[in-house]
């Protein structure tokens, strides 16, 4: 597969991930509107809309963090980080990336155990097993480790971290 073909395929996958995120947001919105309609227009309070909305929101946030949000999209408060030289910034990225990857990697076996254990429980109204509901967190934790290690690898190779200070950004 050529580099252009791979790039095109990855862009296609990214658009599909954005489609999934948009669908999850639509589910949250529709569930919220249904909750209002059932409760206040029909006088019939239902619980499943809250569960669907909460589950879809949880999946939306974690799915988006894994597949949609780019590093340049993240909000950071890095006044000090932006003011130090490239070499020190790379060192900070390496240390923080290793700590973050280490913490998530160490917690991963316990996370997998907990999620698989939760197959014995289900969500009340919609009768969905909790291991399915929480499974997105495993993917999220693996993605956090992978992204942190990629940033460490990039910084160790001498690539300076991307600046988030608008006065230092360049248009590519």
Q: CA 63, CA 69: separation in Å to the nearest integer?
A: 9
Indicate if the pLDDT at residue 64 is higher than 80.
yes
**How many CB atoms within 10 Å of residue 62?**
19
pLDDT value, residue 163: 64
Given a cut of 80, is residue 11 above it in pLDDT?
yes
Q: Is the dihedral of CA 163, 166, 147, 13 positive or negative?
A: negative
Radius of gyration of the chain from its Cα atoms, rounded to whole angstroms: 20
Contact (CB, 8 A) for 153 and 98:
no
Instruction: Map residue 145 onto helix, strand or coil.
Output: helix
Span 68-82, mean pLDDT?
79
This prediction has a pTM of 0.84
69-85: average pLDDT: 79
Tell me the pLDDT of the chain averaged across its residues: 90
Which residue in 22, 21, 109 sits closest to 65, CA to CA? 21
Give the integer Cα–Cα distance in Å for 130 and 73: 31
- Rounded Cα distance between 2 and 136, Å, is 31
- Percentage of the chain surpassing pLDDT 70? 94
Residue 172's pLDDT is: 44
């Amino acid at each position: 597969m050529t580099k252009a073909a791979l790039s095109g395929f990855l862009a296609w996958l990214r658009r599909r991930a954005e489609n999934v995120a948009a669908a999850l947001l639509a589910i949250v919105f529709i569930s919220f509107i249904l909750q209002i309609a059932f409760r206040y227009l029909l006088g019939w309070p239902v619980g499943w809309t809250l569960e669907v909305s909460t589950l879809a929101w949880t999946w939306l946030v974690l799915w988006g963090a894994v597949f949609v949000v780019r590093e340049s999209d993240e909000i950071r408060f890095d006044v000090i980080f932006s003011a130090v030289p490239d070499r020190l910034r790379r060192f900070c990225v390496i240390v923080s990336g290793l700590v973050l990857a280490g913490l998530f990697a160490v917690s991963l076996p316990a996370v997998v155990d907990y999620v698989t254990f939760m197959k014995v429980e289900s969500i009340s109204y919609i009768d969905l097993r909790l291991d399915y509901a929480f499974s997105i967190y495993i993917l999220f934790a693996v993605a956090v480790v992978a992204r942190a290690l990629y940033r460490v690898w990039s910084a160790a190779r001498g690539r300076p971290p991307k600046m988030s200070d608008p006065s230092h950004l360049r248009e590519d």
